[in-house]
Structure 1
Amino acid sequence: MLDQPIGVIDSGVGGLTVAKEIMRQLPKENIIYLGDTKRCPYGPRDRKEVLSFTWEMTNYLLSRHHIKMLVIACNTATAIALEDISQAVGIPVIGVVQHGARAAIKVTENQRIGVIGTENTIRSGAYEKALLSLNGDLTVENVACPMFVPFVESGKFLDETADEIVRASLYPLRDSSIDTLILGCTHYPILKEPIQRYMGERVNIISSGDETAREVSTILSYNGLLNKSALSPEHQFFTTGDRERFKKIANDWFGYDVKNVNSITIEKTAVKEY
């Protein structure tokens, strides 16, 4: 069981930012990544639909690849589906919201934190709840950035239009007094450089990837599930959308030619009413 893979799921390519950090911190672990690029973005979708899609990805990895741990590397899916899935499956499941909140609290000096995310993530109040549960004296400013995910998924994030997209989305925070900004969507770290340029060096930019990877390591170690094999890990990448576009974005983000990339179809899963 120790060499069974860690499953990482996302609405598209954004979770690659988390997968990359897990690979860096846990170089012996096998990773299976599934991005639902065909149905991305999840941000504007109905809650029940996001829950259903997240379950479909989870069941695919559980039934086909026998993962030993699941990382929901999507803030929208974490906010909506984490509790439901973690209570129902027999393996450790973690999301990304709590870890981003902890990281922000560690670095803020003036106790004013901004959160940017998809419409669903901001509407859920998941980050604000997580932040205030840890420190009730914080001031939290939330801004939805619905243009970011489609822009990243288009693969155009390396061109000069990134600054225009960032400027149009973040202007409500430009003159705020926040000293820390949480990138409340795993797609957003791909735009970290233009975001930092726009917000200025005075603002700490927080991605949940580092903290999430540390939590993965801690949980695997606690449960005796760390892979101790001397063999090189075998990573696999699946997308429900266009393989070539996914591969190009993965190559750009990882900085090398990513192998084992395949396009798949996942089955619909019935979801009970809540």
Structure 2
Amino acid sequence: MTVAPQAPLLFFDSGVGGLSILAPAQAALPHAPVVYAADSAGFPYGTRSEAEIAARVPALLGRLVERYRPRLAVIACNTASTIALSAVRAALDIPVVGTVPAIKPAALLSQSRVFGVLGTDATVRQPYVDRLAAEHGSDCTVLRHGSAALVQLAEAKLRGEPLDPAVARDALAGLFDQPGGDRMDIVVLACTHFPLVEAELAAASPRPLRFVHGGEGIARRIAYLTQGQPWPSEPQPGTAVFTRLDESVERLRPALESYGLPRIEGL
């Protein structure tokens, strides 16, 4: 398949969490044109039902691919990936990269053999997470906790709003307070919003923890899948697309510009 140099990479998330996936991809491929799409009308995904997400995500990605003609799509959302990745791949005729919890690297790195998976409520209950834990961490105690409030904290941070430190503290307490939590040495940030508040989580932790997530690995995967394809000769300004445009999107403008997304459009 011939790919035009201007064909963008498409990143999709419920909100701004996917920016934690976009940033390492931009570092790896600085000349790549980018379309970043946020389903602001459907946000947050973590409290929605599996059926809603399974229906919504492939339909939206179909519309985005039709409009922007990307060379590749990234579902930069753990919840959407664990529920809808196979359906999206079946529906689209371009490569689709999913975002899955970084359980394998956590199992390799954990010294205590106890690690936490901090995600949305929808992600941490998925059978997909059970399979990853069984496959890669069978000798580990894998603690899980879902936090919708931490997703909102990340969105608020990018809008430049004051942050309540109790949100990060409560999210970690959901792991620490479980049996074995006192031995936990690593936390998997299993929601793409959470690396955006890693500093707040580190500050809220009563002792040092290592946080892991999948951004760098996804960047390597994108680079591999686009190897040999032509790119523009200069970095390109990217486009941010929202399914609902309101004042909260306008408050995100400075953060979006800092990620190379000066243009904002509605879908």
For the residue of structure 2 that corresponds to 1:96, the secondary structure is: coil
Aligned to 1:64: 67
Distance in 2, matches of 1:125 and 1:64, equals: 33
Within the candidate set 27, 30, 51, 1:27 is matched to 30
C-alpha contact (below 8 Å) 1:157/1:191 kept by paired residues: no
Compared CA separation, residues 27 and 51, structure 1 to 2 (3 A): same
For the residue of structure 2 that corresponds to 1:43, the secondary structure is: helix
Compared CA separation, residues 96 and 81, structure 1 to 2 (3 A): same
Structure 1 segments, 4+ long, off by >6 Å, are none
Distance in 1, matches of 2:210 and 2:156, equals: 27
Cα deviation, residue 172, structure 1: 2.7
For the residue of structure 1 that corresponds to 2:164, the secondary structure is: helix
Aligned to 2:172: 170
Unaligned runs of 5+ in 2: none
Distance in 2, matches of 1:106 and 1:69, equals: 30
Q: TM-score, normalised by structure 1?
A: 0.85
Aligned to 1:199: 205
Q: Is residue 186 from structure 1 mapped to residue 197 from structure 2 by the alignment?
A: no
For the residue of structure 1 that corresponds to 2:12, the secondary structure is: strand
Distance in 2, matches of 1:169 and 1:76, equals: 17
What letter matches 1:94 in structure 2?
Answer: V
Distance in 1, matches of 2:44 and 2:174, equals: 22
Cα deviation, residue 174, structure 1: 3.0
Aligned to 2:219: 213
Aligned to 1:122: 124
Aligned to 2:100: 97
Aligned to 1:270: none
C-alpha contact (below 8 Å) 2:106/2:187 kept by paired residues: yes
Compared CA separation, residues 19 and 203, structure 1 to 2 (3 A): same
Aligned to 1:55: 58
C-alpha contact (below 8 Å) 1:174/1:199 kept by paired residues: no
Distance in 2, matches of 1:178 and 1:205, equals: 11
- More divergent stretch after superposition (149-158 vs 136-145): 149-158
- More divergent stretch after superposition (111-120 vs 195-204): 195-204
C-alpha contact (below 8 Å) 1:8/1:34 kept by paired residues: yes
What is the number of equivalent residue pairs in this alignment? 260
Cα deviation, residue 257, structure 1: 7.4
Cα deviation, residue 36, structure 1: 0.6
Aligned to 1:139: 141
C-alpha contact (below 8 Å) 2:37/2:241 kept by paired residues: yes
Unaligned runs of 5+ in 1: 265-274
